[in-house]
Structure 1
Amino acid sequence: MTAPASQTPALQTQALVAGYEPGLPIVRGVDLSVAPGELLVLLGPNGAGKSTLVKAIAGVVPIHSGSVTLAGRDIIRIPTHRKIAEGLAFVPQTENIFATLSIHENLQIAAAVLPKAARSGKIAALYERFPDLAARPSRQAGTLSGGQRQMLAVARALIVDPPVIILDEPSAGLSPKIVSEVFEMLRQINATGVTVVLVEQNVKAALAIASRAVVLVEGRIRHEGAAADLLGDPLIAKLYLGTGHSLGHSAGHSQGTKHP
């Protein structure tokens, strides 16, 4: 699925090949188009290349060939640390905060890309948006709960009001209750018009908030469609559960299209 012809995709890859070692691609010719305002979830079994794909887009993993554009602008040659200024925020699964620094210091470092006059006002706005962080700004980030850490990581990413934010498995290691809170936070961010691309293993929770889903298998897009449709798709259940029943229904009551 691509953005309408009259609408420039918020994020797009074409024939993208990427991987850690030359000649050993993990992402194999991915064409991905994300429309402005979408909440897209990338699904697939372990080793499918989901995290490698988003890391390549963010500039963390080498790109062997293909293109990556942000609102029509080629961003492949832009250094990773400059992509946030171009409007692409990336929240990795780990090492996404400075654990030895305070909440406020984490936000100050993230705000360093802004003009000095704008920094304090932007941090204040983020505290208003994330009251849990505002409650104890001097608290060491390493002492935060898993959910609070993700909140801080997302707040850092939002410091420049990026039109696109990519998150790599934000629910990893979190309890079901905290997962719900993190996903609700992402849904609210998306509701403000921010395009969200999400890598997730928590399939049901991710599909519940996503507008569209893309399934990767062995570094290639295997299937894509509306999130609500994929929730009942037997292909998704087969990939994750090794069965033919859907994630949203009990066995024997699934409906969905067949796939080769």
Structure 2
Amino acid sequence: MEISGEAVTARGIGVRGPRGPVFENVDLDVSAGGLLVVHGPGGSGRTSLLLALAGRMRLHTGAVEVGRHRCPGRGARHVRRLVALARADGAVDLEGRLRTSEVIAERCWLERDVTPRRVVEAARRVGLRLRPESLVEDLGPLDALLLAVALALAARPPVLVVDSLDRDCPAEDREHAWQALEAVRACGCTVLAAATDPPAAPADGAALLALPRRHTGRPTAPTAAKETAA
């Protein structure tokens, strides 16, 4: 599996909610095939920042560039096409009542570039053993995360967003999760990830961005675009 990743750049970006800034004045540079790790406590704006970088949240200030496409502006549609969301709290997650086989079939129906063979290949890439008859809600936290990543990776996107990587995961599973993202990077894909804590041993070239907790409100829907990932 080979993917041509895209660089992601942000200058002075900020998002405001009904009760003030969610995050503000963020500058970052992620090279093609690189890894960005956004970390901070709940309420710090991690998810909102990832959605903004993916072109799926309205910016109050600044701009994002993915490859040669700029958001906001005419390039926003291209940014959304280039950046796939594996998981984003409150916006994108897997349907727990479906079986793994049903989630895969639905993804193949929704995205013409995704095939069962590609999903199997992506699952192997991230170290996931697929169990077709298992309900998504019965999967452990790590397997649920890896399934979401594999489904998104099967479309071979230039940029992949993974939110709440360490959600409900014990320490040993977190290490496996970070290793899975390194396997995604090895394909050439640019990875934008968020977690409460950064990895214990950040990969070479990884960009770390710490967000402080804010006591203002997050944007309310429909400010944050709602999506369904299977």
Q: Could you tell me the TM-score, scaled by structure 1's length?
A: 0.67
Change (3 A) 1:76 1:13: same
Report if the CA contact (8 A) 2:14-2:59 is conserved.
yes
Q: Secondary structure at the match of 2:60?
A: strand
- Which of 150, 155, 163 in structure 1 is aligned with 2:150? 155
Select the structure of larger CA radius of gyration: 1
Alignment RMSD, CA only? 3.2
Aligned-residue identity in percent: 23
Gaps of 5+ in 2: 215-230
- Which of 108, 119, 136 in structure 2 is aligned with 1:111? 108
- Which of 22, 28, 51 in structure 2 is aligned with 1:32? 28
How many residues are paired up?
208
Q: Could you tell me the TM-score, scaled by structure 2's length?
A: 0.75
One-letter identity of the residue aligned with 1:98: E
Cα deviation code 1:59-105 (max 9, x no counterpart): 45432232222112124468999866x22122214652111111122
Provide the C-alpha distance between the structure 2 equivalents of 1:112 and 1:140, rounded to a whole number of angstroms: 19
Provide the C-alpha distance between the structure 2 equivalents of 1:175 and 1:198, rounded to a whole number of angstroms: 18
Q: Residue 218 of structure 2 corresponds to which residue in structure 1?
A: none
Cα deviation code 1:23-56 (max 9, x no counterpart): 8222212222211121121234554333321122
Change (3 A) 1:124 1:47: closer
- Which of 94, 97, 114 in structure 2 is aligned with 1:97? 94
Structure with the higher helix share, 1 or 2:
1
Change (3 A) 1:217 1:177: closer
Q: What's the CA shift for 1:146?
A: 0.8
Gaps of 5+ in 1: 1-7, 220-260
- 1:100-179 equivalences under 5 Å are 100-115=97-112, 119-129=115-125, 132-134=128-130, 136-179=131-174
Q: What's the CA shift for 1:128?
A: 4.2
Q: Residue 225 of structure 1 corresponds to which residue in structure 2?
A: none
Q: Secondary structure at the match of 2:17?
A: coil
Change (3 A) 1:167 1:123: closer
Provide the C-alpha distance between the structure 1 equivalents of 2:179 and 2:127, rounded to a whole number of angstroms: 15
Matched, 1:18 2:15: yes
Provide the C-alpha distance between the structure 1 equivalents of 2:11 and 2:178, rounded to a whole number of angstroms: 29
